[in-house]
Chain A
Amino acid sequence: MSFRSAVITFPGSNCDRDMAEALAKVSGSAPLRVWHGDAELPEKLDFIALPGGFSYGDYLRSGAMAARSPIMKAVIAAAERGVPVLGVCNGFQVLTESGLLPGALMRNASQNFICRTVALKVENNQSLFTGGYEAGETIHIPVAHHDGNFFADEDTLDRLEGEGRVAFRYLESCNGSRRDIAGILNQAGNVLGMMPHPERAIEPEHGGTDGRTLFENAVHGLVHA
């Protein structure tokens, strides 16, 4: 059984190729490439990835335009049917702007673009994406963003924590995110948004392979399902 995944490319996406490479390497089958203007997704997808980048030049707000592009209606419908959706960096911003995940990603508190490898704590290892990690494990994944400062009101933050939906937390001062949140899950657990780039930590040559576990778990978890 081959793994059918799709990587969505918006105008200004720039991590779509890295995402496709990561999925191809881990799953053994190349993802389908989908353009933002398409109205429909390929059939029978096992996995959808929204890559990093600067879709629509970050006009209005990061992810705001992409979240309202034609393909996102299909992505939202697929997510609601339970298809796993991973949004990384700009993909996370698109997920919050589209309402698939709560909160918003604001300008980094330092106002600086942050580009370095950061230490993360795996808070929830019960999801499709994070099941390959140990609970509380420290992993190292690169970040590269200007708008990664996660904001949600206190009630929403309490709900996310209470429902175990904080997937990853920064273990070091990064971008000013509320409660150091680096990645969150939707209520059903099939949508993950995260600012760090797991697709940039796949091969030893990347400086680390901590991101590979996420893709391996998602791919194998699905094939065994």
Chain B
Amino acid sequence: MKVHIHVSLKPGVLDPQGRAIHHELEALGFAGVNDVRAGKLIELDVADDTSDDDLDQMCRKLLANMVIENYRIEKLETA
């Protein structure tokens, strides 16, 4: 089973990387970009019977730092 873990900074946590990307987009002439937040995408390939609880624990114990980050688990359809 393919699983995507989307890790993003919590609202209110300053994102210097997002700010730099925002600045660069404006420098390239793209108008109307209101805000940029940068995160991480972690792609997992796990056993089909991996439980939701295990995926949750993977995020909480390692993949995300709960002090500053949120995560979202997206299970992909297997073709």
Residues of A that sit less than 8 Å from B by CB: 60-61, 64, 68, 96-97, 102-104, 106-111, 149, 151-153, 176
- Residue contacts A-B, CB under 8 angstroms, 29 given: A60-B62, A60-B63, A61-B65, A64-B62, A68-B61, A68-B62, A96-B67, A97-B65, A103-B67, A104-B65, A104-B67, A106-B13, A106-B14, A106-B16, A107-B16, A107-B17, A108-B16, A109-B14, A109-B16, A111-B16, A111-B20, A149-B16, A151-B14, A151-B67, A151-B68, A152-B67, A153-B67, A176-B14, A176-B16
Give the docked Cα–Cα distance between A152 and B66 (Å).
Answer: 11
B68 touches A106 (CB 8 A): yes
Q: CB-CB < 8 A to A107: which residues of B?
A: 16-17
Residues of A contacting B67 with CB < 8 Å? Answer: 96, 102-104, 151-153
Interface string of B8-49 (1 = CB under 8 A from A): 000001101100100000000000000000000000000000
Bound-complex Cα distance A102 to B62 (A):
16
**Interface residues of B, count at CB 8 A:** 11
Residues in B42-79 with C-beta less than 8 Å from chain A: 61-63, 65, 67-68
CB contact under 8 A between A151 and B62, given known A103-B67, A104-B68, A111-B20: no
Complexed CA–CA distance, A103 and B20 (Å): 23
Q: Is the CB of A111 within 8 A of B17?
A: yes
Main secondary structure of the interface of A (DSSP, over half): loop
**Count of A-B residue pairs with CB < 8 Å:** 37
Query: With A and B bound together, what is the CA distance between A104 and B47 in angstroms?
Result: 32
In whole Å, how far is B11's beta carbon from the nearest beta carbon of chain A? Answer: 12
Measured between beta carbons, the chain B residues less than 8 angstroms from A110 are 16
Q: Which residues of A contact B16 (CB under 8 A)?
A: 106-111, 149, 176
Chain B residues with CB under 8 Å of A104's CB are 65, 67-68
Contacts of A109 in B (CB 8 A): 14, 16
Determine the chain A residues whose CB is within 8 A of the CB of B68 once the complex forms: 104, 106, 151
CB-based contact B63/A151 at 8 Å:
no
Top 10 A-B pairs, shortest CB-CB distance? A104-B67, A104-B68, A111-B16, A107-B16, A109-B16, A111-B20, A104-B65, A61-B65, A151-B68, A107-B17
- CB contacts (< 8 Å) of A153 on chain B: these are 67
Say yes or no: A64 contacts B65, CB within 8 Å: yes
A96 to chain B, nearest CB (A): 8
Closest Cβ of chain B to A125, distance in Å, is 28
Shortest CB–CB separation between residue B17 and chain A, in angstroms?
Answer: 6
* A156, closest chain B residue (CB): B67
Q: Give the docked Cα–Cα distance between A151 and B67 (Å).
A: 8
